[in-house]
Structure 1
Amino acid sequence: MSLFSTARVAHLVCLTAALLCASFGASAQTAATFPNKPVTIATPFPAGSGPDAVLRQVSDKLSKLWGQPVLIINRPGASGFIAIDSVVRLPADGYNLLQLDSEHIGAVPHLYKSKGFVPFNAFDPVAALFRTPFFLAVATDSKWQNMKDLVAAAKAEPTKVNYGSWGIGSPGHLGGEELELLTGTEMTHVAFREFSQLFTSVGSNDVQWSFGSIPSSQGLFKAGKIRYLAVAAPKRLPQMPEVPTMAESGGPAGFEVNSFVTLVSPKGLPNDLKAKINADVIKVLADPEVKARFNTFGFEPLSWSPDEIRKNAEAKGKTYEQLIKRKNISLD
Structure 2
Amino acid sequence: MPAFHALPTPRRAALALLAAACLAGPALAQGDFPSKPVNVFTPFPPGSGPDALLRAITDKLSQKWRQPVLVQNRPGAGGFVVFEATRRLAADGYTLVQLDSEQLVALPLLYKSRNFQTLDVYDPVASLYNTPFLVTVPTASPWKSVGDLVAAAKAQPGKVAYGSWGIGSPGHLGGEQLELATGIELQHIPFKDSGQMFTALAGGDIAWALGSIPSSQGVYKGGKVRYLGVAASKRIPQMPDVPTVAEAGGPKDFAQSSFVVLAAPKGIAPALRARIAQDVAQVMQDADIKTRMDTFAFEYVNWSPDEIVKQARAKGQMYQKLIERKNITLD
Please classify the TM superposition score into its range, dividing by the shorter chain length. Answer: over 0.9
Indicate the residue corresponding to 1:300 in structure 2.
299
Change (3 A) 1:19 1:247: farther
Return 5+ residue gaps in structure 2 as ranges: 4-16
Structure 1: any 5+ residue segments left out of the alignment? 5-17
CA contact (8 A) 1:135 1:228 kept: yes
The aligned amino acid for 1:185 is I
Shift, 1:278, TM fit = 0.4
* 1:1-332 pair list within 5 angstroms: 25-332=24-331
Residues 157-215 of structure 1 show CA distances to partners (whole Å, capped at 9, x for unaligned) of: 21011100110000000000000000011101000113222112212221100000001
| Conservation of the 8 A alpha-carbon contact between 1:175 and 1:257 | yes
Distance 1:42 1:92 in 2: 14
Q: Deviations over 1:120-152 (max 9, x none)?
A: 111100011111100000111111110111111
Name the amino acid aligned to 2:232. Answer: A
**Partner amino acid for 1:56?**
R
Which residue does 1:12 correspond to in 2? none
Return the offset for 1:28.
2.4
* Separation of aligned partners in 1, 2:174 and 2:22: 47
Report if aligned partners of 1:30, 1:273 keep a CA contact under 8 Å in 2: no
| CA–CA distance in structure 1, aligned partners of residues 2 and 171 of structure 2 | 72
For 2:116 and 2:156, the matched residues in 1 are separated by 39
Deviations 1:7-44 (A, max 9, x none): xxxxxxxxxxx999876533322222211111111111
Q: What TM-score, normalized by structure 1, do the two folds share?
A: 0.92
Q: Aligned equivalents of 1:141 and 1:32: distance in 2?
A: 59
Aligned identity (percent) is: 56
CA RMSD of aligned residues (A): 1.7
**Residues 74-102 of structure 1: CA deviation (Å, up to 9, x unaligned):** 11111111111111101100001111111
For 1:24 and 1:74, the matched residues in 2 are separated by 37
Name the SS for the 1:99 alignment partner: strand
> What is the aligned residue count?
318
Q: Secondary structure at the match of 1:163?
A: strand
